[in-house]
Structure formats: structure tokens, C-alpha cells
Amino acid sequence: MATAIEAPRAPAQRFAATPGQMLLAALIALFLALFLVIPVITVIYVAFTEKGTGAFTLINFYDFARTDLFIASFWNSMYVAAMTVVLASLFALPLAYLTTRFEFRGAGIVQMLGFIPLIMPPFAGAVAMQLLFGRNGTINLLLDDWFGFKIPFMEGLNGVVFAQAVHYFPFILINLSAALRNIDRSMEEAAQNLGSHGFRLFRRVVFPLAMPGYIAGASLVFVKVFDDLATPLLLNVKDMLAPQAYLRITSIGLADPMGYVIAVVLIVVSVAAMGASAWVMKGRDYATVQRGGGGLSKRPMNRSQAIGAYAVVLLILFLVLAPHIGLFLLSIATVWSFSPLPDGYTFAHYARVFAESSVFIKNTLLYATLAGIIDVVLGTAIAYLVLRTKLPGRHWLDWTASAALAIPGVVLGIGYLRTFFDVKMPDGTSFASFWIVIVLALAIRRLPYALRACYAALQQVSASLEEAAENLGATKSRTVRRIVLPLMMGGILAGFVTSFATAAVELSATLMLVQSTSDAPLAYGLYVFMQSPAGRGPGAALGIIAVLLVAVCTLISNWIIERNQHLRSTRT
Amino acid sequence: MRAFVQLMALAALAALSPAQAQAPTGKVTVLTSFSKDVTDPFKKAFEAAHPGTTVEIQNRNTNAGVKLLEETRSVNQVDIFWASAPDAFEVLKGKKLLQLYKPKAAGIPAKIGAYPINDPDGYYSGFAASGYGIMWNERYAKANKLPDPKEWQDLAKPVYFDHVSIAAPSRSGTTHLTIETILQGEGWDKGWRTIKEWSGNLRNVTERSFGVPDAVNSGQVGYGIVIDFFAFSAQGAGFPVKFVYPTVTTIVPANVGIVANPPNKATAEAFVEYLLSPAGQEVLLDKGIRRLPVRPETYAKAPADYPNPFKDPSLGGKVTFDSGLSSARTAVVDTLYDQLVTFQLDGLKAATKAIHAAEAALAKKDNAAGRAALKEARDLVAKMPVTAEQAASPEIRAAFTGGKEKSARQAELEQQWAASAKAAYAAAEAKANEAAKLAR
């Protein structure tokens, strides 16, 4: 197949909407309205009301702009989010580049390990990082002993940047690696024939071609960091927007408008950031025609290059896996206090966790699986409606579902309580206390990830294949079932894995919604354990179990994806 | 699982003869801020004492718990509210979210220290006592060569600069009581002066109560202002930590109350009775719990060195805690602390550091003008934007509740207070530097 930069791809031929498609769109719209739009509106409308009277007003936004603390918080959040993108790029670029461009032994393992930081249960990660990098953590105690100085890794805004970059850099790694793999080798060869090589080749040809993946990952990191409240709070940084919103809503009260004003600001900035990233990519087309067999040519490294490359990769892996290393040590430690390593080791914490907490593990698997399934079903359906039909308003489905990314978990949690508490179940209990509500909250919060994955997968399937099938007499639903879905399977699974893995360790919405311990997922159990001195070890053990659980599930799906791709590439 | 439990409960109900219908049975739902280490032993002990019952624990911090009961009032699923802060119970009582219940258990004195154990109106009962104090990590203290503190004022000494941690009073019911105790014990102006003096030595202000003992246990911070059982249970878990009660402390009861319209009233009552029974009180001595029982005779079974407020008159005798006054100004005190300390910590610390330096310089070479400037700097730090009378005035309280009498919106007040604190700390730092120069 001839290769060239493709002219802006002609829009896939769209079919007229069938009644079935309209019904599908209506159902999705109803779902989103019930479980996203209405709950969120019940919360944020408070931002537009006067305290006490409830009359409509914009005065709260005026107060926001006049309060030094909020303005400082706004800029701090901007700074942290932007710097995290920079630092996360520094972590992700070498890993992605070295493993995709060179013959690198263990590239698969590096890519796999690079995904792990995303699976860090809240609380546990920051606790473990404090023990290693904190003021009196392992590294600083040793530095102080040997050289008489300390490095403030975890102090202030820059500490937040460090912790966030370690946690979220996989978003960039995953997207960038995928983009690098999709670059056509001949582009690189053409550049080399024209005399470009080395860093110039990377800067002028390879990186720009991988730009869509990088921008997708970077904007995701920006938005997640901008909205995250757990990490800053655990590092005792309060003058950022998300922590301010959380502190106000949970300590001053649900009636205080300022918390909701901040929530509105968070949502606006997040949507703007996602919009900006889409706008940057608009009008540029880096797509290349050939798929599957492409990818950059992998080159062997000479000895010194190899040593350098492995040193860089190992250093980065050590940094980004440090929380897990720390957590593991904590889970087998007797007492760990003001010393580089624990005083002694024991497996008693695991015994306690298994004796008391198997219900948490079961619940987590159930909830995360259900949430993942809901997400890919919705994601696939929305992607199909947007890309393959001409339904009016179909983009609204996409935008609404993506906006969930910008809704802080606390806001969604409170919204659910407010909306569903008066909805009675047949047995007289409230719908909000039914565990399905936790699943719905998890699914809504993870929907944007799955949606993007399904969307990308469907974009890569040429509409001409569907036309061919229909020309041969297949019905629409049969075409979808037999042609579209199988071709999308890789992307759907990737979406499922991301939703599943992150849902399994989510806490912020869960904490508001868990009504009884027997319905609680693992992250909640971990939170409860971590609130007492004797619970630190078992909490860490539960964290390690969560990470392993998710890692195993990820491995399995990864294996399925690879096998699927392999099958496809052998078929063509 | 859930369905299974309900089935079991139904089966258990069906099996009961009518005569036993009043016996506690089935599920009792307990909303609590206590950690698993506290709730698990009680759950086990209660279920063993009353076969056929299950204790369902819902863990939330105190404020979130109060909010949950408020939001779910119409469809209440909770039988028991179980937490430390008496303030929270006052709030619930005020909102008619508690059920009147006078426990039958006898042998519990009316007061512990200077504080009444039970709600005089009978809406909630104290089941354990706790005092506030200072805990510290011995290894940390040794490595940094720091002395043991005894009083709140000790923490204001220059040696402790950057070594102390506290939970924000707006976030932690227990710290709120600590602050309120100091304000009531020393008076509004003097109390705030003390509080700001040691707050200038803070390493950080956490947003979770447990964040403080956690940081002290792991040695990230040396000293923490905490409720006693955090330290005792950390000792029980083997951490190298110590604890002291300052003279101005208050021993207040941790409480339990039955929520209005409980789904399972009989079992809820049994649970309260069990907590107050001799067997229930002994569970408090468990090494993961370590709280002070409200039954004097239980102390006979306690390990040596266990503090006993019924024997030791110095414990909490000095301050008579006025919970009415406390609850009237809760929001104002918490917001003041947040705006003057939590969110202005950098400015406050800079001023405090300059004051410490000036003091050291003057100690070497005394100078009257320098002393005067230093005093001015200290007064600037201690300056309060509102008086005690204003703090409890309807105008300011209405700003927080959205009432009609308000003179300004809450956000406006906060900005005023924060701006005045920021300016005062900057001026104090300049004055202190001036004092240090004079001593040179």
C-alpha cells in the first residue's frame, strides 16, 4: 500500500438514523441526565443562590474574585497542573521513546510497570511516599546521615507536583507509546534519506507525528491534577482550588455557596482545557494510511547506549514505583518510625486483612467490573452514534459524557445523595443506600476514559467495511455485531481496563455513598484501616492486594488485546 | 451477602416466641467516627453478649456523619450515633435528630473532672472520657535533641519551631475542643495569644484528625496536639511515642446517642446499655482503644500508669467547659483559626521565626528599645480582628448561617480577617527584624 500523509480524511459516510438508533440515543441521554446532569445541577445551583434566602445571585462569583485565598489557590492549581504535565512528560518520554524505537529487552515489562502507578489506592500512595521521600523519610534520613543535608521532595506545591507526576504520568506514557507505535516507518526513512537524524529527526519528524497521543495524554493529566484533592490534602497543601472546594463543602456545610462556586470554576477550567487540546489538534492531520504493519523501525543499541538507556529506565521506574515499594515495605513492617527501614518484618497484617476483609475484595471486583462494563457499553454506543449517524444533537452526548471528567467526586457523591435519597425502593429503603448507586457513580466518573478509547477504536475502523457488509445484505445490527464490534475489540478492552483499574481504587465519591460496611469496596476499607495506629500495616496490605488484583486483571486484558491484534495483523 | 443477612434476621425473628419479642435482635446500624480498632472489639463483644444481633458499622468523620443524618432524616437507616465531640451531639440534639433515652445502667458518676458525663436532657450519654494533650515521637526528639514539653506554652518555645503539627479545628471535632478549651481556660485574648504563639511553630495543619498522630508515629513530625487515645493506642501498637496532659486540658466524654426514629430501637437501647455496662467498659482498656472508662471501678483492671481522672484531681479539673458557649461560636472560632493560621501559616511562621531570632539576639545583648520593638511584634501577632463579644454576636453568627441580621457575607468576613492577619504578620516580622538590629 502506498504511504503518504493522508489528505484530511473524508468524513466517514454517515448513514441516516434508524428508529433503533434514535431509541438508543434517547436511552443514553436519559441515563446521562439521571445519573450525571441532574445530580450535578442539584449541587452546583447553590453557587448561584444567596445564602439563607436561596434567591438567585451572582454575588458569590464576585466574592470569589475578591478573596485573595481563592485567587492564590486558582494560580497555585494552574501552576501545579502545568508543572505536573512537564514533569510527567520527563518521566514518560524516555520510557516511551526507548521502548518503542530501540530493540529493548523487557520493553513489555517496562510498559506494564509504567501502567502500575495509575493503580495506587488513595491515602496509601501519599503515606508510602512520605515514608520514602518525606522530610524524615528513608532518602532524607540517609542523606542527612551521610552528607548532612536534606532534599525537600515532598514540600509545598512542588511536592504536590512530584507526587502527582508519579501518579498520573502513565496517561502520557500510554497515549504516547500508542502514537509512536502507529507512526509509519517510511516517514522516518524519508527524513533520514533527506539527511535528518538524531535529535533533529526526533524533534522535527517523530515527535510531531506522535503529537495527537501526547496532547491527549497531557490534557488528561492536566485536568486530573487540576481536579484532584486527595494528594494535596495528604501533603497538607490547602491553598489549591479542589482542596478548598472540598474543605468548604465538608466543613462549613452543604449550604455554603463558595464551595460550589469553586466547583463551577473547576468544571469550567477542565472543560476549557479539554476544549483547548481539541482545538490545538483541529485542522492538523497527522494520520498515516497504513495500519498494523507500521511502527518505527527498531534499532539495536551499542553497548554504551544500552547501559545509558537501561540506567535511565531503571531510575525512572524506581522513582515512579517508589510508592508501591514503600507500600509493600509498610505492609510487612512491624513498626516503622523515624528510621530508614522498618524495625522488623511480619506477615500478620496480611493474615488480619484476609480474615476481616474478603468482603471488600469481593465488592471491589463486582463494582469495578460492572462499572467497566457500563462504561464500554455506553462508550461504544456513543462513539457509534457520533461517528456513524447524523442524529441531531449527537455531539451533546459526547460532550456531556466527557464533562464527567471535570466533576469532582465529592460533588457527584453529594448530588447522588440529594437526588436519590427520597427515591424509595420496593422494600422501603432509599435508592441511595442501594449498592448499585456506588457502581453508577464509579461508571459515570470513568466514562470519559472508556469513551475516548472506544471513540479512537471506532475511528480506526473504516466505514467502507460496514458499507461492504451492508451491500452484501447484512442488517445494521448484524453489521455492528459481526464487523464493527470485533474490529473495535482492542480499544473496547483498553477502555474497560482503564475504567476497571481506576474504579477499583476510587474513593472520593465512594466515601460519600457507602452506606454500610458490607457494601464497601476496598478503597473504603483501606481508608478505614488507615485511621488508626494499628491499622497502618493492614491498610497497606489491603493496598498491595488492590494493586495486585488490578494488575492481574490488566495483564489478562492486555494479553487478550495483544492476541487480538496479532490475529488481525496475520489476517491482513 | 446482604440478602443472606436479612434472611437470617427474618428467620431469627420468626423463631422468636412472642414473649421474647422485646429482646434485642437483628441488625443495629451504628454511625461512628471511631476507627476499626475501636469498633471491632465492641462489635465482637456485643454480638457475643447478645446472640442473634449484628452490629453494622458505618464509618465517617464526625462532621460528615452529622451531615448524613441531616440529609437522610426522612428515610433514616441509622440506629446509633457514636462519636467523640460533645458539640456534634449538641448540634444533633438541636436539630431533633436524637431520641430521648435514659440508660438504666447504674454506678456511673455524674461528672468526670469538671464535665457532666451525660446530657442533662437525656439525649446522649458519655461512655468514655478523653483529654487533650501533646504527643511526641521519642526517636525524633532524640535525633533533634528536643526537650519534653509539659504545657501548651512550652510548644511556643523557639526550639520547637517547625516541629509541631495539629489538625485544623474546622476539620476535627477534637482539635476544636482543644482550641475552645484554651480559649475558655485563658480567656479570649490571652487564649488566642497562646494559640498563635505555638501555631507559629507549626510544621503543618492537617485536614484529618488522624493525620497528626500518623505523622508523629512515622516520625515525619515530632510533636502533635492530639486527643489522648491516639497516643495511647499508638503506644499499644508499638510506636515510640509519649504523651502528656497540660494543666489547661479538659476531660470530656465521648458519647453515644440513639438517632431519632431508629429502625431497630430495642437493639439500639441494648447497645447503649452494653457500652455502659461493666463488661462494655472493660473493652475500653483494649490496647487498640485505650480510652478512659466512665466507671471508676473499671480502672482496677487497667494496666499500670493508666491515667485515672477519678483519682488524679489535676486531670481536667482546672477548666469548666461551657458547651453552650462553645456551640454558639463554633463556626466563628473555626473560621478564625483557618483564616488567621491555617491559610496564613507561611506569614505567621516568618513572623514567629523573626521573633525567635530577635529574642536570641536580645538575650545576648539587651537593649530597651529592642525589647519594646519585640513586644510590639508579639502584640501584632496576637492581635485579633474580632472580640469575644463580637464573635458571639448575632451579626457575625448570621453571616455564617445566612440569617437576616448579617452585616456582611461570610466570604467578605473571611477576606477581611485574612487580609488583616496577613498585614499584621508582615508588620510583626518587620518589627522583630528591627528589634534584632537594635540588639546588634
Give the 3-state secondary structure of A53-72: CCCECCHHHHHHHHCHHHHH
B311 inside domain: no
CA pair distance A171, A218, nearest whole angstrom? 7
Residue B45, CB half-sphere, CA atoms under 13 Å: how many? 21
pLDDT value at position B260? 93
Nearest Cα residue in chain B from A534? B237
Q: Do B207 and A69 touch (CB under 8 A)?
A: no
Each residue of B157-179: pLDDT tens digit? 999 999 999 999 988 877 888 89
Please name the residues in contact with B189: beta carbons below 8 A apart, sequence gap of 6 or more.
Answer: B382, B384, B388
The residues that bridge with B54 in the sheet, in sequence order, are B27
B262 and B242 assigned to the same domain:
no
Average pLDDT over residues A93-111: 82
Domains of chain A as residue ranges with CATH: 12-48+357-572 (1.10.3720.10)
Q: Do B412 and A63 touch (CB under 8 A)?
A: yes
Average pLDDT over residues B323-343: 88
Top residue of A127, A135, A157, A236 to mutate, by most chain B CBs within 10 Å, is A236
B148 and B275 assigned to the same domain:
no
**Helix, strand, or coil here: A136?**
coil
pLDDT value at position B1? 46
B245 and B194 assigned to the same domain:
yes
Average pLDDT over residues B206-228: 90
Q: Is A251 on the interface with B (CB under 8 A)?
A: yes
* The three cell numbers locating residue A99: 521502548
Q: Do A66 and B415 touch (CB under 8 A)?
A: yes
pLDDT mean across residues, chain B: 87
Lowest mean pLDDT: which of B70-74, B228-232, B390-394, B436-440?
B70-74
Polymer length of chain A: 572
CA pair distance B59, A122, nearest whole angstrom? 17
* Contact status, residue A453 vs residue A490, Cβ threshold 8 Å: no
B27 and B72 assigned to the same domain:
yes
CA pair distance A395, A391, nearest whole angstrom? 9
* The three cell numbers locating residue A214: 501526547
* Contact status, residue A529 vs residue A477, Cβ threshold 8 Å: no
CA pair distance A313, A112, nearest whole angstrom? 13
B27 inside domain: yes
B358 and B379 assigned to the same domain:
yes
Structural domain for B80, as ranges: 2-128+254-301
Lowest mean pLDDT: which of A164-173, A404-413, B230-239, B254-263?
A404-413
pTM: 0.81
**Helix, strand, or coil here: B327?**
helix
Q: Is A168 on the interface with B (CB under 8 A)?
A: no
pLDDT mean across residues, chain A: 82
* The three cell numbers locating residue B283: 473493652
Q: Do A531 and B35 touch (CB under 8 A)?
A: yes
pLDDT value at position A82? 96
B240 and B143 assigned to the same domain:
yes
B288 and B229 assigned to the same domain:
no
CA pair distance B128, B116, nearest whole angstrom? 12
pLDDT value at position A4? 40
B212 inside domain: yes
Candidates A509, A73, A5; CA nearest to A289 is: A5
Q: Do B414 and A67 touch (CB under 8 A)?
A: yes
Q: How many domains does chain B have?
A: 2
ipTM over 0.90: no
CA pair distance B108, B257, nearest whole angstrom? 16
Query: Which of A68, A247, A519 is facing B419, going by the closest CB pair?
Result: A68
Binned at pLDDT 50, 70 and 90, residue A295 comes out as: low
Instruction: Give B 21-60 residues with CB within 8 A of chain A.
Output: 29, 35-38, 40, 56-60
B59 and B136 assigned to the same domain:
no
Q: Is the pLDDT of residue A428 over 70?
A: no
Each residue of A391-413: pLDDT tens digit? 888 888 888 888 887 777 777 88
Residues of chain A positioned with their CB less than 8 A from the CB of B215? 130
pLDDT value at position A212? 77
Q: Do A137 and B233 touch (CB under 8 A)?
A: no
Q: Do A251 and B342 touch (CB under 8 A)?
A: no
CA pair distance A164, A212, nearest whole angstrom? 22
Binned at pLDDT 50, 70 and 90, residue A16 comes out as: low
Q: Specify the higher pLDDT residue, A12 or A348.
A: A348
Each residue of A239-290: pLDDT tens digit? 899 888 878 877 666 667 888 888 888 888 888 887 887 787 665 555 554 4
B245 and B270 assigned to the same domain:
no
Binned at pLDDT 50, 70 and 90, residue B42 comes out as: very high
**Helix, strand, or coil here: A45?**
helix
Q: Is the pLDDT of residue A58 over 50?
A: yes
Each residue of B83-121: pLDDT tens digit? 987 878 988 998 899 999 989 888 888 888 777 888 889
pLDDT value at position A353? 86
B260 inside domain: yes
CB pairs under 8 A between A and B: 186
Candidates A77, A73, A57; CA nearest to A65 is: A73
CA pair distance A178, A183, nearest whole angstrom? 9
Nearest Cα residue in chain B from A539? B36
Residue B87 belongs to domain with CATH number: 3.40.190.10
B137 and B279 assigned to the same domain:
no
Instruction: Give B 347-376 residues with CB within 8 A of chain A.
Output: none
Q: Do A68 and B410 touch (CB under 8 A)?
A: no
* Contact status, residue A329 vs residue A322, Cβ threshold 8 Å: no
B213 and B355 assigned to the same domain:
yes
Return the amino acid letter for B168: A
Q: Do A530 and B230 touch (CB under 8 A)?
A: no
Q: Is the pLDDT of residue B337 over 90?
A: yes
B30 inside domain: yes
B274 inside domain: yes
Q: Is the pLDDT of residue B276 over 90?
A: yes
Residues of chain A positioned with their CB less than 8 A from the CB of B168? 251
B353 and B381 assigned to the same domain:
yes
* Contact status, residue B177 vs residue B83, Cβ threshold 8 Å: no
CA pair distance A331, A417, nearest whole angstrom? 34
What letter would DSSP give residue A481?
Answer: I
Domain boundary among B301, B332, B367: B301
Average pLDDT over residues A89-100: 88
Enclosing H/E stretch for B293? strand B292-293
Return the amino acid letter for A549: L
Lowest mean pLDDT: which of A106-110, A399-403, B121-125, B199-203?
A106-110
B317 inside domain: no
Residue A179, CB half-sphere, CA atoms under 13 Å: how many? 25
B312 inside domain: no
Cell numbers 414473649 label which residue? Answer: B19
Instruction: Give B 255-274 residues with CB within 8 A of chain A.
Output: none
Q: Do A252 and B331 touch (CB under 8 A)?
A: yes
Q: Is the pLDDT of residue A210 over 90?
A: no
Please name the residues in contact with A468: beta carbons below 8 A apart, sequence gap of 6 or more.
Answer: none
